[in-house]
Chains A and B, each alone.
Chain A
């Protein structure tokens, strides 16, 4: 440690000091690893406390909050899936049911895979079963502890109302909530089970013959246990909620509607899924069977689609219009920005990649819109797209002999505006409002530079030899682009498209600055709707429920995207 000593002397004194200071169990090779482990955890601790508290815990918290109702109240009365029903009506029962089914299916597949490996590779998953599931139950009990303590802590401010509201009194109530018997029992039960599970796993590991230790089934069984528990809890919640809703509906004399709706919509989605699956499996069959399968799949697609078209609008009409309009705006935004943005930036990147002068200058300029603060640039676009007749775009239109437009204040769909006022295209065919189109243009403007930079990095990773070889084979520029550049760039394209889609569902800042009251909410994407439910309406539970729905949508998109990518993306 001392800088003045020579290295070897330093090591010797250091070792000596350690030998004297450290107890026996703390010495040797095993203990060095233990010490490194503890040090690593202490390095991780600060970051994980912050990320856990403000990044992961919010998920559990939002799930809890979304089951409460009430205006401007942090802890309202328990309302089950009531907030979700308000947002998407009966669709939530279907979503929750299939989510639960998916979780249990996932757990089943994990376990089945473990036993399949046992048969094929003579591994030994069985001893891991008990510790894995004990740990999973421990995790579930810990979740139970969190959900017991959380409401107690949240109720403290209202308990203090009317009393002397000091910090000491508040802290006293926190301590009191912590020492509640039910909280303590759940906490120590969870700790005991977790210790038992981990201890059991270590025991199993030490008893297994060394040759079989290479395959550890602890993690898969823990995750299977957790997903089973979560799936069962969700299924139970859904079942009780459906029953409650059903008895409510019976009193109103419309009992059958609920079940028929649930069954029809589920059947519709199942048919679509089945159609996709049959279509995919048709590829491996001889041509006649494949033809028959594809026809069958097309028929299923049509029947399923028809069922959904018949049933979904009724559910949508019964849900929250703001939310559905918000989702619609988000979908329009994705469809309108992502392809254009990716296409433009691919062209720019490929051109920039040629041997040209001023390459880095171009790159710096393209990237500028992405770097400049969003609120500032959005403020500029607010003026460019303003509805004043003398605003930049409108004066250009006047110069060309056209009438000025309302731009950001125009709620009418663009296809409706093109078709003229004498045909009514309906809400979906009318397309995104002109206001939303203006925001899309802003979105494209900011993100083309970002995409270009990522594409350039992807192009730089393609080995030059491939171009040389293909040139010898007689490939011209276009053939090279089509058969070398594009396939090797597909991971980048995949990443950027996923980023664009998820980014749109998260988008907030620029839309919040660019939205005008006159656009009548046609520009409000999902995030904006959630923000308004929280900030303007102070409906905490409802905003949380919408946020959870948004998360489910993002997860579903990511999963579908991964599924497609595993077939279409070429990873070198």
Chain B
């Protein structure tokens, strides 16, 4: 199932021979209508973010002259340079840890034999069912408590924002799906060459599944770009506050300055959207693989 889901171009059905012309018109109309609904809000954002204040509040559809300076103004007013830097740091630390921890665990599940494998895997997948809300209070207390005994504080600092997300059932599951498809013969020949499990994982498995690692990086990136509830709970100063919280604070601050709000929203969306357009195959396949089986 996973394999066929990943076949990049969608497999197609032969169309019926009769009545094709009319059907085509209807199909294209519906599809184009859907696409318009999906992207109109984005076009509207671009348009308003280029207006001046009177145009934005006046309900115009297009700006008279594009105000490019809006972006600069929003960037400064919202302190985006700080929040972007924070988000990038948080993402790098989280994703770096996630690749190491998830790859190790996924490798154990995919290629090694040990008692309790099925039980541990079920336990892992059952964490996907837990609502995030149930972890808020306990994890907040745990994190503030750990900050008291560890050399660095956790609250208002990188550990609280990154360490809890370094290993996830989702990441382990995603990598395991790919690791499992690698033929066992490779391990046999690696053994003959004298490689141990760790060395085999690093030099053979990981390079072979670079697509999966790429997907993990992308999802880690989107995940930390989207994080909101947890950062609100564990940051009280802007020092480590990520971009989504920064944008939310700016929205309340900017109040009636709609054009700046839109410019701010556009700036925060841009990195992810650009990343998506460049890597959309990894993205969509990753979702399809894990979604179908999860």
Contacts and interface: CB of A to CB of B under 8 A. Distances in A.
A495 to B, nearest CB: 7
Contact of B258 (A53, A167, A363, A383): A383
A369 interface: yes
Interface stretch (A95-103, A121-129, A286-294, A507-515): A507-515
A153 B280 CA distance: 47
Given A55-B169, A375-B228, A375-B247, A11 B132 contact: no
A141 to B, nearest CB: 20
A276 to B, nearest CB: 24
A460 interface: yes
B204 interface: no
B164 A527 contact: no
Nearest to B120: A44
Interface in B20-49: 24, 27-28, 30-31, 34-35, 37-39, 41-42, 44-45, 48
A456 B288 CA distance: 9
Contacts of A492: 292
Nearest to B134: A547
Interface in A26-80: 33, 36-37, 39-41, 43-44, 46-48, 50-51, 53-59, 61-62, 65, 74
Nearest to A467: B13
A40 B194 contact: no
Given A153-B145, A366-B34, A379-B265, A59 B134 contact: yes
Contacts of A37: 113-115
A43 B148 CA distance: 28
Contacts of A544: 134, 137-138
Interface string B1-25: 1001101011111111000000010
Interface string B94-119: 00000011101101110011110001
B132 A527 contact: yes
A458 to B, nearest CB: 7
Interface string A356-382: 100110111111110111111101111
A376 B276 CA distance: 15
Contacts of A1: 194
Contact of A167 (B149, B167, B233): B149
A209 to B, nearest CB: 21
B172 A47 contact: yes
A375 B248 contact: yes
The majority secondary structure among interface residues of chain B is: helix
Nearest to A347: B30
Interface stretch (B63-71, B122-130, B205-213): B122-130
B222 A373 contact: yes
A174 interface: yes
Interface of chain A: mostly helix, strand, loop or mixed? helix
A297 to B, nearest CB: 32
Contacts of B108: 40-41, 43-44
B186 interface: no
A7 B193 CA distance: 5
Given A10-B193, A10-B194, A534 B127 contact: no
Contacts of A477: 16
Contacts of B39: 365, 368
Interface stretch (A110-118, A308-316, A387-395): A387-395
Interface in A150-188: 153-154, 156-157, 167, 170-171, 174
B110 to A, nearest CB: 11
Contact of A355 (B12, B107, B109, B112): B12
B93 interface: no
A383 B261 contact: yes
Interface stretch (A237-245, A250-258, A409-417, A447-455): A447-455
A86 to B, nearest CB: 16
Interface stretch (A267-275, A431-439, A549-557): A549-557
A412 B272 CA distance: 36
Given A540-B141, A551-B130, A392 B261 contact: no
User: Which bucket holds chain B's interface residue count?
Assistant: 35 or more
Contact of A371 (B138, B283, B294): B283
Nearest to A547: B134
Given A373-B225, A392-B44, A508 B247 contact: no
B114 to A, nearest CB: 4
Contacts of B133: 506, 508, 526-527, 530-531, 546-547, 550
B114 A41 contact: yes
B265 A376 contact: yes
Interface in B128-153: 129-142, 145, 148-149
A248 interface: no
A445 B7 CA distance: 26
A83 B57 CA distance: 47
Given A352-B31, A392-B59, A454-B292, A51 B124 contact: yes
B292 A56 contact: no
A194 interface: no
A7 B188 CA distance: 13
B7 A540 contact: no
Given A1-B194, A356-B28, A50 B101 contact: yes
B193 A449 contact: no
Contact of A547 (B38, B131, B141): B131
A11 B194 contact: yes
Contacts of B42: 368, 372, 380
Nearest to B37: A445
B292 A457 contact: yes
A362 B113 contact: no
A7 B194 contact: yes
A355 to B, nearest CB: 5
A174 B146 CA distance: 11
A344 B35 CA distance: 12
Contact of B114 (A36, A47, A374, A540): A36
B187 to A, nearest CB: 11
Contact of B138 (A39, A62, A353, A530): A62
A449 B37 CA distance: 11
Contacts of B30: 347-348, 351
A381 B248 contact: no
Given A377-B265, A383-B258, A467-B13, 9 more contacts: A44-B105, A59-B130, A351-B27, A376-B247, A379-B261, A457-B289, A534-B140, A543-B136, A551-B130
Interface of A: 1, 7, 10-11, 14, 33, 36-37, 39-41, 43-44, 46-48, 50-51, 53-59, 61-62, 65, 74, 153-154, 156-157, 167, 170-171, 174, 219, 344, 347-348, 351-356, 359-360, 362-369, 371-377, 379-384, 388, 390-392, 394-395, 445, 448-450, 453-454, 456-461, 464, 467, 477, 492, 495, 499, 502, 505-506, 508-509, 512-513, 526-527, 530-531, 534-535, 540, 543-544, 546-548, 550-551, 554-555, 558
5 contacts: A43-B197, A59-B130, A371-B222, A384-B41, A535-B233
For the complex of A and B, the 9 pairs showing the least CB-CB separation, nearest first, are A390-B59, A61-B138, A58-B138, A47-B105, A457-B288, A47-B167, A457-B5, A376-B269, A54-B164
